[in-house]
Chain A
Amino acid sequence: MFDNFPLWPARASTAAGNVDALYIFLIIVSGMMTLLVFTAIVIFAARYRHRRGVLAEQIEGSIPLEVTWSIIPLGVFMVIFVWGAVVYFHSRTPPRDATDVYVVAKQWMWKLQHAEGQREINSLHIPVDRDVRLIMTSQDVIHSFFVPAFRMKQDVLPGRYTTAWFHATKAGTYHLFCAEYCGTQHSGMIGDIVVMEPAQYEAWMSGGNTGPLSATGEKLFAELGCATCHRSDTQGRGPTLQGVFGQPVQLQDGRIVTADENYIRESILDPGSKIVNGFKPVMPTFQGLVNEEQVNALVAYVKSLSGASAVKTNTAMAQPTAPAKGNQVQ
Chain B
Amino acid sequence: MSMATPIVTPVEREDYLNKEYGVASWLLTTDHKRIALLYLISITFFFFIGGFFALLIRLELLTPAGDLVQADTYNKLFTMHGQVMVFFFLIPSIPAVLGNFLIPMMIGAKDLAFPRINLLSWYLYIIAGIMMLHCILTGGVDTGWTFYTPFSTAFSNTKVIEAGLAIFVSGFSSILTGLNFVVTIHRMRAPGMTWSRLPLFVWSHYATSIIQILGTPVIAITLVLVVAERALHLGIFDPKLGGDPLLFQHLFWFYSHPAVYIMILPSMGVVSEVIACFSRKRIFGYHFVALSSLAIAVFGFLVWAHHMFVAGISVYAALVFSLLSYSVAVPSAVKVFNWTATLYKGSIHYDAPMLYAFGFLGLFTMGGLTGLFLAALGIDVHVTDTYFVVAHFHYIMVGGALMGYLGGLHFWWPKISGRLYPEGWARLAALIVFVGFNLTFFPQFILGYVGMPRRYYQYPGEFQVLNVMSTAGATVLGIGYLLPMIYFLWSMRYGKPAPDNPWKAAGLEWQTQSPPTTFNFEKEPVVTWEAYNYDEIDTGHKEEVKVVG
Q: Do A and B come from one complex?
A: yes
Among A54, A74, A84, A153, the most chain B Cβ lie within 10 Å of the Cβ of A84
8 Å CB interface, B238-281 against A: 239-240, 244-246, 279-281
Over the window 334-372 of chain B, the binary record of Cβ atoms lying under 8 Å from chain A Cβ atoms (1 yes, 0 no) is: 101110110111111110000000100110011001101
User: Could you tell me if A181 and B144 are in contact, using CB atoms closer than 8 angstroms?
Assistant: yes
CB <8 Å contact, A85 and B454: no
Does B217 have its Cβ within 8 Å of any Cβ on chain A? no
Contacts of B376 in A (CB 8 A): 22, 26, 80-81, 83-84, 87
B456-488: CB near A (< 8 Å → 1, else 0) gives 111111101110000000000000000000000
Q: Is B455 an interface residue (CB 8 A)?
A: yes
Asked if A4 and B461 make an inter-chain contact with CB atoms under 8 angstroms apart, the answer reads yes
Q: Cβ of A56 and Cβ of B326 under 8 Å apart?
A: no
Q: Are B286 and A77 in contact (CB under 8 A)?
A: no
Q: Is the CB of B460 within 8 A of A175?
A: yes
Nearest-neighbor residue (CB-CB) of A151 within chain B: B382
Complex alpha-carbon distance, A56 and B322, angstroms: 42
Q: Are A61 and B322 in contact (CB under 8 A)?
A: no
- The size of the chain A interface, using a CB distance under 8 A, is 90
Within 8 A of B (CB), among A8-23: 8-9, 18-19, 22-23
| Nearest B-chain residue to A37, judged by Cβ | B365
Considering only CB atoms, which chain B residue lies closest to A93 in the complex?
Answer: B315
Of the candidates A45, A149, A155, A159, which one forms a contact with B348 in the assembled complex, judged by CB atoms under 8 Å apart? A45
Whether A34 lies near B282 (C-beta < 8 A) is: no
Which of chain A's residues 36-81 have a Cβ closer than 8 Å to chain B?
A: 37-38, 40-41, 44-45, 48-51, 54-66, 69-70, 73-74, 77-78, 80-81
A7 touches B (CB below 8 Å): yes
**B385 beta carbon closer than 8 Å to chain A:** yes
Nearest neighbor of B534 in chain A, beta-carbon distance: A56
Interface string of B428-455 (1 = CB under 8 A from A): 0000000000000000001001110111
- Interface residue? A148 (CB, 8 A): yes
| Chain B residues with CB under 8 A of A321 | none
Given the interface contacts A51-B347, A187-B457, A188-B458, does A62 sit within 8 Å of B548 by beta carbon? yes
Is A184 part of the contact surface with B, judged by Cβ < 8 Å?
yes
Nearest-Cβ distance from residue A24 to partner chain B, whole angstroms: 11
Contact between A81 and B382, CB atoms less than 8 A apart:
no
Contact A70 B71 (CB under 8 A): no
Flag whether B30 is at the interface (Cβ < 8 A). no
Q: Does A152 contact B (CB under 8 A)?
A: yes
- Residue A131 interfacial (CB < 8 Å): no
In residues 155-184 of chain A, which contact B (Cβ within 8 Å)? 155, 157-160, 162, 175, 177-184
- The answer to whether A64 and B312 touch across the interface, beta carbons within 8 angstroms, is no
Is A6 interfacial (CB-CB < 8 Å)? yes
Question: Is the CB–CB distance between B378 and A19 below 8 Å?
Answer: yes
Complex interface residues of chain A between 174 and 218 (CB less than 8 A to chain B): 175, 177-188, 190
Q: B282 contacts which chain A residues (CB < 8 A)? A: 58-60
Q: Which of A51, A148, A178 is B451 in contact with, Cβ under 8 Å?
A: A148
Report the stretch among A138-146, A247-255, A301-309, A322-330 that lies at the interface: A138-146
In chain A, what residue has the closest Cβ to B345?
A57
- Tell me if B69 is interfacial: C-beta within 8 Å of chain A: no
Does B118 touch A at the CB level, under 8 Å?
Answer: no
State whether A48 and B378 are in contact (beta carbons under 8 Å apart), knowing that A33-B365, A73-B333 are contacts in the complex.
no
- Say yes or no: A65 contacts B341, CB within 8 Å: yes
- Bound Cα distance A320, B345 (Å): 64
Contact in complex: B538, A85 (CB < 8 Å): no
List, in ascending order, chain B residues with CB within 8 A of A158's CB.
Answer: 150, 239-240, 245
State A184–B143 Cα separation when bound (angstroms): 10
A153 to chain B: which residues have CB within 8 Å?
310, 381-382, 384-385
Residues of chain B with a CB closer than 8 A to A5's CB:
462, 465-466
Report Cα–Cα, A22/B376, bound state, in Å. 9
Chain B residues with CB under 8 A of A40:
340, 343
Q: Are A59 and B546 in contact (CB under 8 A)?
A: yes
Whether B326 lies near A187 (C-beta < 8 A) is no
- CA–CA, A48 to B354, complex, Å? 14
A232 within 8 A of B: no
When the two chains form their complex, are residues A45 and B343 in contact, meaning their CB atoms are under 8 A apart?
yes
Q: Is A290 located at the chain interface by the 8 A CB criterion? A: no
Q: Is B225 an interface residue (CB 8 A)?
A: no
The reply to whether A83 and B378 form a contact with Cβ atoms under 8 Å apart is: yes
Contact B285 A88 (CB under 8 A): no
Q: Is the CB of A58 within 8 A of B545?
A: yes
- Judge if A3 is at the interface, Cβ distance under 8 Å: yes
Q: Is A313 an interface residue (CB 8 A)?
A: no
Is A222 an interface residue when CB atoms closer than 8 A count as contact? no
Q: Give chain A residues whose Cβ lies under 8 Å from the Cβ of B548.
A: 59-62, 65
> What is the CB-to-nearest-CB distance from A90 to chain B, in angstroms, rounded to a whole number?
8
Verify B284–A59 contact, CB threshold 8 A: yes
CA distance A8 to B461 in the complex (A): 15
Nearest neighbor of A148 in chain B, beta-carbon distance: B451
* Chain B contacts for A18, CB-based, 8 A: 378
* Distance of A26 Cα from B75 Cα, bound (Å): 33
Residues of B within 8 A of A78 (CB): 326
Query: Is the beta-carbon distance between B362 and A141 smaller than 8 angstroms?
Result: no
**Cα distance A61–B284 when bound, in Å?**
5
Contact status of A77 and B330, CB under 8 A, knowing A37-B361, A183-B75: yes
Bound-state Cα–Cα, A232 to B338, Å: 72
Query: Within 8 Å CB of A148, what residues of B?
Result: 382, 450-451
Query: Smallest CB–CB gap between B75 and chain A, Å?
Result: 7
Q: A159-B240, A187-B66, A188-B71 in contact; A84/B377 too (CB < 8 A)?
A: yes
B151 CB–A CB distance under 8 Å: yes
A4 contact set on B, CB distance < 8 A: 461-462, 464-465
Other-chain contact of B322, A65, A84, A151 (Cβ < 8 Å): A84
* Complex-state Cα separation, A29 to B312, whole angstroms: 30
- B27 adjacent to chain A (CB < 8 Å): no
B314 close to A (CB within 8 Å): yes
Q: Does A86 belong to the interface (CB within 8 Å)? A: yes
In whole angstroms, how far apart are the Cα atoms of A33 and B437 in the complex? Answer: 21
Whether B449 and A8, one on each chain, are in contact in the complex, defined by CB atoms closer than 8 angstroms, is yes
Determine if A111 is an interface residue (Cβ-Cβ < 8 Å): no
22 residue pairs of the A-B complex, CB under 8 angstroms, read A4-B464, A6-B450, A6-B462, A29-B372, A30-B369, A33-B365, A48-B347, A49-B350, A56-B346, A57-B346, A58-B281, A60-B546, A66-B288, A87-B378, A88-B378, A154-B310, A155-B312, A159-B240, A177-B456, A186-B456, A188-B71, A188-B458
Other A-B contacts than A58-B534, A183-B151, 9 sampled, CB-CB below 8 A, are A19-B379, A26-B376, A45-B350, A50-B348, A66-B334, A69-B337, A81-B322, A148-B450, A159-B239
The 3 closest A-B pairs by CB, nearest first: A159-B239, A87-B378, A148-B451
